[in-house]
Amino acid sequence: MQLNRKGFTLVELLVVIAIVAVLAGVVLVAINPAKIMSESRDAARLSDMDTLNKAITLAIADEEYTLVAAQGSSLTGTIAVDGTGWVSYTVPANKIGLGKYLAVLPRDPEHIGGLLAYEYKADANGYVLRCQLQSLKYTSKMTTDGGESAVHYEVGTDPGLDLF
């Protein structure tokens, strides 16, 4: 009597599952998703700071925006671009302010329940925007941005970026 063997034994299946599990673990460690997500959030922060800085600079040049002494945070302020959001300013008569350049003010990618926020501070002479970066990839940006803080990325028009 001949036995027809069409399948895998339990031992063979367990060996294959173990090999796949080990390979998946090695790949997961090599990819490091937490690091990739942190770098992705930092790239978004840098982009948001650049976009907002350009919008404010254009608004000031186009006289859509008048600097006033103000301080705000994306953690507690609104995203309104009419001067009442976390970036506070005066809108001159017959002007629309930052609404000409932005639909809403950006928020930190982890603003919900997190401690990370975008911050704004201004006086009559200039302004500073700042945020904190998480990944080691962008650490040098915080120390070479020209600002006074080595733990924040800072941009703006205030000489020395030292309003904070």
Q: Domain map of the chain by residue range?
A: 33-156
Q: Are 152 and 130 in contact (CB under 8 A)?
A: yes
Interhelix angle for 33-61 vs 10-31, to 10°?
30
According to the model, what pLDDT value does residue 26 have? 85
According to the model, what pLDDT value does residue 2 have? 65
Nearest to 76 by CA among 30, 116, 28: 116
Q: Are 119 and 89 in contact (CB under 8 A)?
A: no
According to the model, what pLDDT value does residue 114 have? 67
Per-residue pLDDT of the chain (164 residues; tens, 9 = 90+): 566 677 788 888 899 999 999 998 888 777 888 889 999 999 999 999 999 999 999 999 999 989 999 999 998 889 999 999 999 999 999 999 999 999 999 999 987 666 789 999 999 889 999 999 999 999 999 989 988 888 999 999 987 777 77
pLDDT tens-digit map of 2-49? 666 777 888 888 999 999 999 988 887 778 888 899 999 999 999 999
Length of the chain: 164
According to the model, what pLDDT value does residue 1 have? 57
According to the model, what pLDDT value does residue 9 have? 86
Max distance between CA atoms of the chain, in angstroms, equals 99
70-73 and 153-156 as β-strands: parallel, antiparallel, unpaired?
unpaired
According to the model, what pLDDT value does residue 113 have? 65
Q: Whole-angstrom Cα distance, residue 119 to residue 137?
A: 22
According to the model, what pLDDT value does residue 10 have? 87
Q: Are 77 and 85 in contact (CB under 8 A)?
A: yes
Q: Label residue 31 exposed, middle or buried (CB < 10 Å: 0-12, 13-18, 19+).
A: exposed
Q: Fill in the DSSP letter of residue 2.
A: P
Q: Are 70 and 121 in contact (CB under 8 A)?
A: yes
